[in-house]
Amino acid sequence: MATSRFQAFLNSPIGPKTTHFWGPIANWGFVAAGLVDMQKPPEMISGNMSSAMCVYSALFMRFAWMVQPRNYLLLACHASNETVQLYQLSRWARAQGYLSSKKEEEKPSQ
């Protein structure tokens, strides 16, 4: 049972013998990079790259769904990347002062 399942995975049209598998694996590198970069100070974040990544992953979730063969691994990857990059973008925006209007409003009232 386990052997035949593994065999089926190996020989799948989207299995590890094909780039339909390795393409998304490389894409998971973006998720890993995003997670690691969460440990870095927000000044290190590239706003350009994070913004581009958010748009990119949103569109590629749809792409992964529509392409033949349909690529669930890629879809999961881009959903994860979207989450990570949105968080990175919010850290960057906060560091740049774009989200500080509340604080500025709070100060006079104190």
Partner 1 sequence: MATSKLQALWNHPAGPKTIHFWAPTFKWGISIANIADFQKPPENISYLQQIAVTCTGMIWCRCSTIITPKNWNLFSVNVAMAATGIYQLTRKIKYDYVSEAEAAVEIEG
Please return the burial class of 62, using the count of CB atoms within 10 Å of its CB with bins 0-12, 13-18 and 19+. Answer: exposed
Site string for partner 1, 44-63 (x = CB under 8 A): x-x-xx-xxx-xx--xx-xx
Per the structure block, which two tokens stand in for 68?
């033949």
Q: How far is the CB of 26 from partner 1 (least distance, A)?
A: 4
Look up residue 39 and give its DSSP letter: T
The verdict on 27 binding partner 1 (CB under 8 A) reads yes
Provide CB contacts within 8 A for 40, sequence distance 6+.
none
Residues contributing to the site for partner 1 (CB under 8 A): 18-20, 22-23, 26-27, 29-30, 32-34, 36-37, 40, 43-44, 46, 48-49, 51-53, 55-56, 59-60, 62-63, 66-69
